[in-house]
Structure 1
Amino acid sequence: MVRQRMTGRERREQLISIGRATFAERGFDGTSVEEIASRAGVSKPVVYEHFGGKEGLYAVIIDREMLALEAALMEAIQEGRWLERIEKVVMAALTYVEEETDGFIILVRDQAPGEERGYATLMNSVVNRVAHFLGKAFEHRGLDSEPAILYAQALTGMVSNTAQWWLDKREPSKEVVAAHLVNMCWNGLSGMQAKPKLTPHPPEGTESVPRDEEKKTAENEEGA
């Protein structure tokens, strides 16, 4: 049987797929045009013809992964009650790690020389979106919306770092991980103080203030 030749579009998609797997496995520096061509069963000039080299192929893959992950996160956070949005965005992040592992590895572990768009850029975009909806939530509860960007950084960083940890562990299940993350996020937000302060600590060598005394002090300050 005569083997049907791929169209230009099909070949391009094949090279992207093979490049994605190879970059995830070996990293940018450890990947060569020769290996990508060999895995695809083509000559090196074919890779150069479509992408101009491994940098071009890598840039296309990064752009695709950025768009896919950003779309998943933004869709999750778009609508719903506050708790529902947090649950959906955490699950969206972990689902991406689970289903698009190679893409996530490339985003978080590698960056080609001169590559401007990366995981940090994506996270900044997510932070701004989270800050927007947190600001509205704060205003709804009569809280100052100005620190919303700070809380958005903290929440996004927590989810992002946990997702990277789970990338290797895969235990417990993503549902359990998501439930614990949401537990911390939501209960932290629902019990927010209007003007949080650090707990005063006595100088070394002096007796610490009993917990019930600290509580009374805090209550008096809030009532002042």
Structure 2
Amino acid sequence: MVTVDRPTAQEDKVQRAPRARMTGTQRRHQLIEVARGLFAERGFEGTSIEEIAQRAGVSKPVVYEHFGGKEGLYAVVVDREMETLLEMVTSSLTKNRSRYRVQQVALALLTYMEDRTEGFQILVRGTPTSGDSGRYSSLLTDAISQVEHLLASDFQRRDRDPALAPLYAQALVGMVTATAQWWLDVREPSKEVVAAHLVNLCWNGLMHLELDPHLVGPNEPQDDATSES
């Protein structure tokens, strides 16, 4: 006769212990993270409330209770990503000296894309209504505007035409963002090396490239004709 070991009373109690319920804030955060992964993977149209709920282990009414629907949840996900990226880029644009500032902008974008790849994919994929990357384009427009302002002041101090600042701002931001999107696919060399070479091109031009560019510290000599921004 085969003897079957029965669980002890203590083991049975452990096995049947209910999982701790999440607070409303914890549940909301969980749903946002689950939705962020699905939106990045499948886009807005390819993601359903049912699938979000299933992956989060809740019923559909719970998702509706927190966000009102898929559009509301998507908007929250996008707003959080925009806030994160904008804070990183703006901080880099408004501090430190000129070359170091350009370097930190490139690093901020690369770091965001590396750490929050899903969020970046959502931003560039487009909104459910317009079908274009309106939020990301808006962010780039803000960044270009800030760079334009900085360059105009720099050009004026150096007796150069400040009317050319918009052209250079478009070129600089465009070069950094295009290179960053390429790097997201290949992930090599390291983001620090990519940032150093981007600044090398921005700062020195093709005719005066450094042989071995490296990232500079905020107080290192930077061959900056304007010295301080």
1:66 pairs with one of 82, 95, 100: 82
Question: Where does residue 5 of structure 1 map in the other structure?
Answer: 21
- Residue 21 of structure 1 deviates from its aligned partner by 0.9
CA deviation map 1:61-99 (0-9, x unaligned): 111111110100010111211111101110111011111
SS in 2 for 1:28: coil
1:38 equivalenced with 2:54 (yes/no): yes
Question: Where does residue 7 of structure 2 map in the other structure?
Answer: none
SS in 2 for 1:29: coil
Distance 1:118 1:190, change over 3 A: farther
- Residue 154 of structure 1 deviates from its aligned partner by 1.1
1 CA distance for matches of 2:49 and 2:184? 27
- Residue 2 of structure 1 deviates from its aligned partner by 2.5
Question: Where does residue 155 of structure 2 map in the other structure?
Answer: 138
Give the partner amino acid of 1:175: E
- Residue 190 of structure 1 deviates from its aligned partner by 11
> Is the Cα–Cα contact under 8 Å of residues 70 and 122 in structure 1 kept in the other structure?
yes
1:17 equivalenced with 2:38 (yes/no): no
Structure 1, 31-40 or 113-122: larger mean CA deviation: 113-122
- Residue 189 of structure 1 deviates from its aligned partner by 11
Question: Where does residue 116 of structure 2 map in the other structure?
Answer: 100
2 CA distance for matches of 1:118 and 1:189? 33
1:188 pairs with one of 205, 210, 227: 205
1:51 equivalenced with 2:67 (yes/no): yes
Question: Where does residue 75 of structure 1 map in the other structure?
Answer: 91
Question: Where does residue 8 of structure 2 map in the other structure?
Answer: none
1 CA distance for matches of 2:207 and 2:61? 58
Question: Where does residue 128 of structure 1 map in the other structure?
Answer: 145
- Residue 6 of structure 1 deviates from its aligned partner by 1.3
1 CA distance for matches of 2:149 and 2:104? 17
SS in 2 for 1:147: helix
CA deviation map 1:188-221 (0-9, x unaligned): 3998xxxxxxxxxxxxxxxxxxxxxxxxxxxxxx
Identity across matched positions, percent? 58
- Residue 31 of structure 1 deviates from its aligned partner by 0.8
Give the partner amino acid of 2:197: H
> Is the Cα–Cα contact under 8 Å of residues 126 and 134 in structure 2 kept in the other structure?
no
2 CA distance for matches of 1:135 and 1:123? 18
User: When the two structures are superposed, what TM-score results if normalisation uses the length of structure 2?
Assistant: 0.79
Structure 1, unpaired ranges of 5+: 192-224
User: When the two structures are superposed, what TM-score results if normalisation uses the length of structure 1?
Assistant: 0.81
Structure 2, unpaired ranges of 5+: 1-16, 209-229
Give RMSD over aligned pairs. Answer: 1.9
